Structure 1
Amino acid sequence: MPHKVRLATMTSSAALALALLPSQALAQDSAEASEADAPLGEIIVTSQRREQNVQDVPIAISVTTAEDLERLQVQNIQSLQYSTPSLVVAGADPTRQRFGIRGISDQSRNPGFDNRIGVYVDDVWVGRSAASNQAVLDLASVEVLRGPQGTLFGKNTVAGAINMRTVRPQEGYSGYLEGELGNFDLRQLRGTLNLGFSDNVGARVSGFWAKRDGFVENISNGLDYNNRDDYAVRGQLQFKIGDTTIYLAADTAKFKSRALAGGERTPDPLAPRPRSIAHNDPQKYVIEYSGISGQIDHGFGNGGKLTSITAFRTSDFRGSVDEDFSPANFAATELASESTEHFSQEIRYASDSSGDFDYVVGLFYLDQQIEGAGRAVAFAPALNPRAPAVFLRVSQSSVVDAKTMAAFVHANYRPTDRLEITFGARLTREEKEINFAITDQTGLFANGTRNDERASNDFSPTVSVNYKVDDDSMAYVRYARAFKSFGWNADFVPSLADFAFDDESVDAFEAGFKTEMFDRRLRLNVAAYLSKHDNYQVFTFRQLANGGTALNVSNAGALTSKGIEIEAEAAPTDWLRLFANYGYNDATFDSFKNGGGPGIDFDGNTAAEAPRHNLNLGVATDFDLGFAKLVLQGDYNYRSSLFSNPDNLPVNLSQPLEIVNLRAGLDFGNVTLFGWMRNAFDVTEQIYNNRSFLGFPRAVFNDPQTYGVTLRVSFGQ
């Protein structure tokens, strides 16, 4: 049976089983179920700067718990995308991957352009794209907040925010050590050691190390590409003095690979098979990030809490790209690099939440420095057949200093037991300056310098009306505004005339319904949304005289994103859990004049990295065999095609992707042994297509079938 037929059959069967649950298994068990034995317990989030049940928060949040991270075999934020409605992580370049939520996507490709989505670890912003694809390391949960989060998370969250919550030091002595072996010579170790020295003092150390051969064969030099050579370490210390808790954390990570930052040429006459190339350039990258932070929480007798979070973080990357896709030395990006560091300070006060009115008020400060550089070389006849046989170079560098100051307030008022009104606002001041230089011998790019400094102010309000239909169901309507700050296209630019671009803003509307039924054996959350973006900042590939392309950033005009998201989880028995997540999105340019150059409009085109559909269906069983538990798990993931460029040309259209992941093993309590398989049917698709600088069609292929075994030994409590 063809794999797509098998997958379609699995999809239909799982959807039918979930649809029948309320009237069959769930209804059968509801009479005997109690709060204590209901499998779907509370999920606690901190998205509104205080601990809350996710079902009580009037925004669309996908929460992946520690148990689910293990079930889904999540390695990093990128691998979370298929199980989260409306989340996309795309692109070929690991140093600057494109994060998107609800069809609103981008990357911090150069120092003058910021991410649209903020990634946070314990409420600390981790930085730019190179640091955004954080490794999953000893996490309690990952919260994906969909839609603008301008009030509590600040600027550049016009699409959403991702908040990773670590496991804090706990009382007692405990931990685990895990080893993993797999095909492509995968070797991975990870572990955690928790030391609770007393009731008031605890420490925790976590880390992982991984090596793996690459998926792509270079027939020119015999090397394998897209390999892994990674490690990450985090240390934590927490102690309590009376009503004050002090939490200190430090982390560092390094990721190295021979990576295909430009993808593979398609078709490639020298290497026609998927996941094969014929390059002479080593095409390697290195990503490093690290940080230290301190959080102080002080509780007052009135139930309020004062929180201070101080952090300093750095990130660096270096990489190179073979631009001619051949063993010859025609064109290459010899160097792409970026080094950033930032200091942040947030202080906030959260009132007691037991009465009719509660609030959070705070101040935020961010000071960031970014240094970036790029150097490329090309054989002149490759750009122009009539040019002399010489090599030409272009290089650019930039330094950006940015400061952000903000004050915010967020409050809830409950005039009745069932009605709640949420309102908030953030006032932001943004100051930036840039020093940019570009030197060009090719005649295709700009040649000169540009120094500039700018500032802007923004007011981002939010309001929602939330109604408790009953004790387990809530309906809400929400309005939110956010902005993305101005910047500069500090890149290989053909002209300095349109070097700067302006602030982007969004007005977003959302209606949602959250419910738990059958004594918390079924959880169902639905959200519908409409977002209107003004002065939308967008990357486009502009045609050059030689037939190649250059990246350009401009304010597109107006874009509308609309859609619906459904998340369901059910536990019809103590040993069975079912999952279903679906997102539909339509992100379309209302106005994009001259998007492809003078007189070439993109009005009505679909935004980049905006698939219409994504679907995840999962099943997890947990049978008690007496001597151990038998665990069987499977997930089906589907994502429809997407464009890599708002021009919507066929060369920039990817293929749909559907894959199945499987996991099975035995849980003996302190020892677990699992076998796993990702992409079980070995599907091969082009999941990100675009054109290279020289105009070659190129593609990123999904990972092939991988499999292996994981052994975990837990100790202590």
Structure 2
Amino acid sequence: MPTFLPRPLATAVIAATATLALAPLAQAQNTLEEVVVTAQKRAENVQDVPIAISVFTAENVEDLSARNLGDLGQFTAGVEMDVFKSLQPTYSIRGVQTNDWTVGSDPAVAVYIDGVYAARGAGAETALVDLARIEVLKGPQGTLFGRNATGGAIHLVTQDPVFEQEGRAKLSVGNYGRVDGELMWNQPLTDDLAVRVVAVSRNRDGYVENLNGTDLNDEDIQAIRGSLLWNPTPDTDVRWRLEYSELDQHSAARQTTIASVFENANPGRSYSDFGKIHTDYVNREARDQFATSLQVDHSFGDKTFTSITAWREFNTELDEDLDGSNNLDHLFNSNNPEENDYFSQEFRLTGASDKLKWTTGATFSREHVSHLTTAVFNVSTLESFAWAELLKGAGSETSDVFLATFAGQTPEDLEYLATLSNSEIDELAPSFRQQQRDAGLDGIAASSFVWAFLNGEGTLGDFGLSDNPFIGIFQQILPSLQPRIAAYEPWVEEVYSDGTYESYAVYGDATYSITDRMNLSAGLRYTYDEKEFSLFSQYQNTIAGANFGLAFYNNGQPLLDATQSDSWDNLSGRVVLDYALADDTMLYASVATGFKSGGFNSLNFGPDIDTSYDEEEVINYEVGSKGQYFDRSLQLNASAFFYDYQNLQELKLLGQPIPSYNLRNSDAEGYGIELETYWLATDNLTLAGNYSWLKTEYTKFRILEAAGETEEDDLTGKPRVGTPEHKVNLSAEYRWQLGDFGALLPRIDYTWSSERVESLNDPAREIDAFYLINARIALLPDNGDWEVALWTTNLTDEEHFGEYGDNGDAVGSLTGARIPPRMYGADFIYNF
């Protein structure tokens, strides 16, 4: 695959002189427009805010053909947004993220919609339609945005109603049967009352061809949003917003990347990474969501009082084929329905004088969440799991004896296994499993070995089981197990979790002008979080009258019915000093802290596994500059940072002999630089770009010996998961005037990311470096009544796995998720 890749040093130089438009471009003059943000809870020019912020306007979203936050994350320095699952997205800012997809914890990057916190990732993804802007705030935002903003905050701001009639209709068509529609209508009802309504529908066929008849990774989304603006007095604004959306699509598809898993189940077909797949369980994401908020702003003198009352609720269902195949020996499916409701209230008072600008406030929120995880295997999956674990344990006496016996060799013949990479081991596991079947060892012999391994008891010797103290148990269970293996009998386990979370906070922040050029900002927030969490697990399977578990098994942990409660509190803050070298040039230095409350292990409580875990805390040191030069035709922003993370919450497979997902705490640090620049090179040509360099590593990694971890599992000094060291974005747009008729705007966007560590459970596994190119050409008449555009994303049709799945890897079928292929289409826009 070609990389078009500059060297890191050259990359930094290029990024400082050209790239992506994350700020509005000039219209008819060679001067950058001002962008107003509310990052400090008051309206300010983004260039005057001493925080590293990337801003997308509505025009930017359209230019990039972005349909979700993940599309925008590709083009943001220091930011990764993984939305392969719309219901379990991961947002990472400067390497700070939460890899937990369960409901016992909170995200590390807070998503806000019109000032209201979207408490769960499942409710954070929203249609990027009729937005005023999207602000991406980098670094901890503990003071003004509060809890769960240790990595940063993403704030989506919708367009307010206006007091004039206007409308907009947009139709998008494209390959894979894409038909998208958007409609906006704004209507003043009286002199002091206006309403705005937006409706959107997105439909596209799947791009992953599935041999079971249902193509996967399609889109089927509908949403309607309404807002009402009322000005009862000259000093009072009342905004009532509501939104309802539905999502029901065969998305979040993963496929096995192990050729033998696919080929053993599909005789005569050859496996291809980007060819047809065959699953035996249809992936599906579904969500119904309703949200409403009431915001009241009242000004008196130089002060403004704000009240935001909000309610959000959603119901979701996530069905996944976690082994990504139709191979019954590796069957692993899951169903995850979830219900969530969230209430919040914020009171805020802001004021300003010649020397002092200040904000103070209080917030309260209450969230109730319930989640059911159902894991479905076949009884034969237990043996596939055992083979995967045996091969990963190659080099140990027990594993080598097992493997040698089934391969008809001696342990010495298999010493090479210990030198293989995990990816090579992944390919071997199904082969050993197939050798076992071909040798007719599905019955008592094979199961004895497997169950002896799984129970980790007794001495195996030369497999003469006479010295095994559990031979009596084997003799009881194996006669009933053998026909169940041959019949591919289902094996079902369930875990139900229910949580009620309350949070209280008070905060204050102020900026004092020391001189005409120097400002000092400082703020504090006190947060108190209280959580109650219930967990109930059950195994809908028995062997010889006893209950057994695979997915939620931990050192023999039986069925569980328990309720836990805990509380956490924290004082977070920031201090910032900024200095204006000139009217359009600023330097700043800051120290800021962030806090994310502790939580509970949602999939397992068990021996030597903590029921709850500690809160995260981060301290971030940063220096930066923001400047506009050459009569505001060139903008260059830069920042350098270092952060220290304590009690980082990580989800990891733990436990022996069968691991299960559990959360644990570790420490980490990160440092890097970010550059963003926009250059109006001529009246018609705009170049822009950004570059980020990021280094992360674990500074302390807790070893749980009781859960089977050893020194080899210690990741101290290793990089964090999911964060590339280098990331480059470049773009160019040219305005070609067509006489008095209008203009033609061709545009190209390029993004490149270096390789990254992909899995906490397998630090050697990496996502390869990759690049994407998007292009768009728009025809705009001077009267602005309509617009026609042709666009393409992933222009060169790059084939790339953007994510791998640990769940399938546990049963010997490592899965991968493909990035979307080349897509193209046309937009037709009419303004009225």
Aligned residue for 1:641? Answer: 755
1:79 alignment partner, SS class: helix
How many Å separate the matches in 2 of 1:493 and 1:265? 32
* Higher deviation after alignment, 696-705 or 378-387: 378-387
Q: CA deviation at 1:253?
A: 1.4
Aligned residue for 1:139? Answer: 131
Question: Which residue identity is paired with 1:304?
Answer: K
The answer (yes or no) to whether the contact 1:679–1:706 under 8 Å persists in 2 is: yes
How many Å separate the matches in 1 of 2:681 and 2:191? 39
In structure 2, relative to structure 1, the CA distance for the partners of 1:699 and 1:20 (3 Å cut) is closer
Aligned residue for 1:442? Answer: 548
Question: Which residue identity is paired with 1:310?
Answer: T
In structure 2, relative to structure 1, the CA distance for the partners of 1:206 and 1:544 (3 Å cut) is farther
Instruction: Determine which of 775, 797, 812 is the counterpart of 1:695.
Output: 812
Aligned residue for 2:279? Answer: 279
The answer (yes or no) to whether the contact 1:394–1:442 under 8 Å persists in 2 is: no
Does residue 499 of the first structure (1) align with residue 611 of the second (2)? yes
Question: Which residue identity is paired with 1:224?
Answer: D
Q: CA deviation at 1:266?
A: 4.1
Q: CA deviation at 1:657?
A: 1.7
The answer (yes or no) to whether the contact 1:91–1:688 under 8 Å persists in 2 is: no
In structure 2, relative to structure 1, the CA distance for the partners of 1:459 and 1:377 (3 Å cut) is same
* Residues 584-626 of structure 1 deviation map (CA, whole Å, 9 limit, x = unaligned): 1111101103278244311111111111111110111222212
How many Å separate the matches in 2 of 1:342 and 1:573? 49
Does residue 432 of the first structure (1) align with residue 547 of the second (2)? no
1:476 alignment partner, SS class: strand
Aligned residue for 1:588? Answer: 697
The answer (yes or no) to whether the contact 1:609–1:644 under 8 Å persists in 2 is: yes
1:105 alignment partner, SS class: coil
In structure 2, relative to structure 1, the CA distance for the partners of 1:532 and 1:207 (3 Å cut) is same
The answer (yes or no) to whether the contact 1:39–1:520 under 8 Å persists in 2 is: yes
Q: CA deviation at 1:702?
A: 1.1
In structure 2, relative to structure 1, the CA distance for the partners of 1:606 and 1:3 (3 Å cut) is closer
How many Å separate the matches in 2 of 1:597 and 1:178? 55
* Residues 103-144 of structure 1 deviation map (CA, whole Å, 9 limit, x = unaligned): 111255112111111111111112201122222021011000
The answer (yes or no) to whether the contact 2:18–2:730 under 8 Å persists in 1 is: no
Aligned residue for 1:167? Answer: 159
The answer (yes or no) to whether the contact 2:322–2:334 under 8 Å persists in 1 is: no
Aligned residue for 2:625? Answer: 513
How many Å separate the matches in 2 of 1:197 and 1:80? 35
Question: Which residue identity is paired with 1:318?
Answer: E
Q: CA deviation at 1:282?
A: 1.2
Counterparts in 2 of 1:295-444, with a 5 A limit? 295-301=295-301, 303-329=302-328, 331-352=331-352, 354-384=353-383, 386=447, 388=481, 389=484, 390-440=489-539, 441-444=547-550
1:80 alignment partner, SS class: helix
Question: Which residue identity is paired with 1:572?
Answer: A
The answer (yes or no) to whether the contact 2:18–2:679 under 8 Å persists in 1 is: no
The answer (yes or no) to whether the contact 2:15–2:729 under 8 Å persists in 1 is: no
* Higher deviation after alignment, 407-416 or 325-334: 325-334
How many Å separate the matches in 2 of 1:502 and 1:594? 16
Aligned residue for 1:24? Answer: none
How many Å separate the matches in 1 of 2:70 and 2:18? 32
Aligned residue for 2:824? Answer: 707
2:71 alignment partner, SS class: helix
Counterparts in 2 of 1:502-651, with a 5 A limit? 502-542=614-654, 545=657, 550-556=660-666, 558-594=667-703, 597-599=709-711, 600-626=713-739, 627-650=741-764
In structure 2, relative to structure 1, the CA distance for the partners of 1:222 and 1:637 (3 Å cut) is same
Aligned residue for 1:237? Answer: 228
The answer (yes or no) to whether the contact 1:92–1:263 under 8 Å persists in 2 is: no
Which has the higher Rg, Structure 1 or Structure 2?
2
1:127 alignment partner, SS class: coil
Alpha-carbon RMSD across the aligned residues, in angstroms, is 2.3
Counterparts in 2 of 1:95-174, with a 5 A limit? 95-107=87-99, 109-174=101-166
Aligned residue for 2:450? Answer: none
How many Å separate the matches in 1 of 2:768 and 2:379? 34
Aligned residue for 2:582? Answer: 470
How many Å separate the matches in 2 of 1:74 and 1:324? 30
How many Å separate the matches in 2 of 1:334 and 1:175? 44
* Residues 160-218 of structure 1 deviation map (CA, whole Å, 9 limit, x = unaligned): 00001111001211111000110001011012111123442111001210111101011
In structure 2, relative to structure 1, the CA distance for the partners of 1:37 and 1:629 (3 Å cut) is closer
How many Å separate the matches in 1 of 2:327 and 2:722? 32
Where in structure 1 are there 5+ consecutive unaligned residues? 22-33
Question: Which residue identity is paired with 2:314?
Answer: S
How many Å separate the matches in 1 of 2:812 and 2:618? 34
Question: Which residue identity is paired with 2:579?
Answer: Y
How many Å separate the matches in 2 of 1:16 and 1:259? 37
1:465 alignment partner, SS class: strand
* Residues 450-509 of structure 1 deviation map (CA, whole Å, 9 limit, x = unaligned): 211111211001101111111111101101111110101112567573232111111111
Question: Which residue identity is paired with 1:465?
Answer: L
* Higher deviation after alignment, 110-119 or 90-99: 90-99
Question: Which residue identity is paired with 2:766?
Answer: L
Q: CA deviation at 1:391?
A: 2.9
The answer (yes or no) to whether the contact 2:17–2:688 under 8 Å persists in 1 is: no
Relative to total residues, which structure has the larger strand share, 1 or 2?
1
2:720 alignment partner, SS class: coil
The answer (yes or no) to whether the contact 2:106–2:119 under 8 Å persists in 1 is: no
How many Å separate the matches in 2 of 1:261 and 1:540? 22
The answer (yes or no) to whether the contact 1:662–1:680 under 8 Å persists in 2 is: yes
1:111 alignment partner, SS class: coil
The answer (yes or no) to whether the contact 1:474–1:513 under 8 Å persists in 2 is: yes
2:47 alignment partner, SS class: helix
Q: CA deviation at 1:644?
A: 2.5
How many Å separate the matches in 2 of 1:510 and 1:528? 6
In structure 2, relative to structure 1, the CA distance for the partners of 1:411 and 1:36 (3 Å cut) is farther
* Higher deviation after alignment, 705-714 or 131-140: 131-140
In structure 2, relative to structure 1, the CA distance for the partners of 1:108 and 1:314 (3 Å cut) is farther
Aligned residue for 1:45? Answer: 37
The answer (yes or no) to whether the contact 2:532–2:564 under 8 Å persists in 1 is: yes
How many Å separate the matches in 2 of 1:656 and 1:570? 27
2:619 alignment partner, SS class: strand
The answer (yes or no) to whether the contact 2:292–2:311 under 8 Å persists in 1 is: yes
Instruction: Determine which of 676, 679, 682 is the counterpart of 2:797.
Output: 682
Question: Which residue identity is paired with 2:37?
Answer: V
The answer (yes or no) to whether the contact 1:493–1:551 under 8 Å persists in 2 is: no
The answer (yes or no) to whether the contact 1:607–1:645 under 8 Å persists in 2 is: no
Aligned residue for 1:27? Answer: none
How many Å separate the matches in 2 of 1:543 and 1:184? 44
How many Å separate the matches in 2 of 1:153 and 1:181? 39
1:70 alignment partner, SS class: helix
Question: Which residue identity is paired with 1:78?
Answer: G
